[in-house]
Amino acid sequence: MTEPQSWPPLCAAVAGCGALLVLSGAAKLVRTARGTGDGTAVQKALRLNDRRWRGFQAAAGCAEAGVGLLVCAGGYPAVADTLMAVEGAVFVALLSTVIFRGIPGDCGCAARTRRPEAAKKQAVTGWTVARAGCIALAGAVGALAGVRPPAELPGADAASAWALALVTLALLTLADLEVRTPRCRRALLFPARTTLAEVTEHRAFRAVAAPWGFSGDRVLFRRTGCVDEFWFPVRATGHAGSGQCYLEVRAGRVASGALALRTAVAEHAPSDHVKTLAMRQR
């Protein structure tokens, strides 16, 4: 009977996560060398200027690639897996912060959508957080169970483990692609918060909202069919009936998943079937 630490699927899961770290670290180093990669959601969450971000990006890339190589090569497996678990936990914390603060932008990860209109402002989604959780879990299991790298397995098991590791890597890179519901084209995880982040970064919204001043950090939200409705509290200074009113935004999606917005100013917000979402000012 195969021991758990030598079971090919488990070895493949750990090695696949290590390969993802190598890919992600290499991508960060390439972007640093090219002087690109600025403006990501993680940079905004850490509040780093472009110069400091490039230094941080280079250091993070070296750390990720180094740990990933150790995991895949089998050098000091307990140490490598522990470091991978720590890195995964840090990723989870950072990306969760991005989502719950509604910070727009992508995660600066290895795989990015190739669609031009989405690549510029690709939002961090629940899938991205789930993938980081997989990295943390794989590292923890590998460290606690003493999982062996595929290179140390006997011939047939090593071949199957490497093949499964490549499949694991392919599946994990899909976390950066936009996974949406088939009918309404919403994000599958955290749909309301993902849409809110996209709305606040949308060019049409920013143009309409520019003359207004937001009051408070809460947004009213309601879902009607395939339309997401938001009411942003604003100060009606300089307008008839000065005081608080609401910037009403109705957000739907076209077939490609791109947002289509309709905006209006309302004196009152509805009270039925309305939820409250946090909106942090940046």
- Looking at the chain, the whole-number percentage of residues with pLDDT higher than 90 is 17
Q: Is 146 helix (H, G, I), strand (E, B) or coil?
A: coil
Q: Name the token pair of 30.
A: 């390439």
Mean residue pLDDT of the chain comes to 80
pLDDT digits (tens, 9 = 90+) for 207-234: 888 887 776 678 899 998 999 999 998 8
Q: Which residues contact 7 (CB under 8 A, 6 or more apart)?
A: none
Confidence of residue 237 (pLDDT cuts 50, 70, 90): low
> Measured between alpha carbons, how far is 28 from 25 in angstroms, rounded to an integer?
5
The DSSP bridge pattern shows strands 275-278 and 227-235 to be unpaired
Q: Which residue has the tokens 């992508």?
A: 106
Nearest to 90 by CA among 59, 120, 118, 113: 59
CA distances from 118 to 59, 72, 104, 123 (A): 27, 32, 12, 9
Give the residue, 279 or 92, on which the prediction is more confident.
Answer: 92
CA 157 to chain centre: 34
**What residues does each domain of the chain span?**
4-176, 191-278
pLDDT score for 218: 84
Q: Hey, which bits of the chain come out as E strands?
A: 213-214, 218-224, 227-235, 244-253, 259-266, 275-278
pLDDT digits (tens, 9 = 90+) for 72-121: 887 788 888 899 999 999 999 999 988 888 787 777 776 554 443 444 44
pLDDT digits (tens, 9 = 90+) for 125-159: 788 888 899 999 988 988 888 877 777 777 777 78
In this structure, the number of other CB atoms found within 10 A of the CB of residue 106 comes to: 23
- Taking a C-beta distance cutoff of 8 angstroms, is the pair 198, 257 a contact? no
pTM of the model: 0.60
pLDDT digits (tens, 9 = 90+) for 171-181: 777 655 666 77
Helix runs in 187-249, H state only = 191-201, 203-209
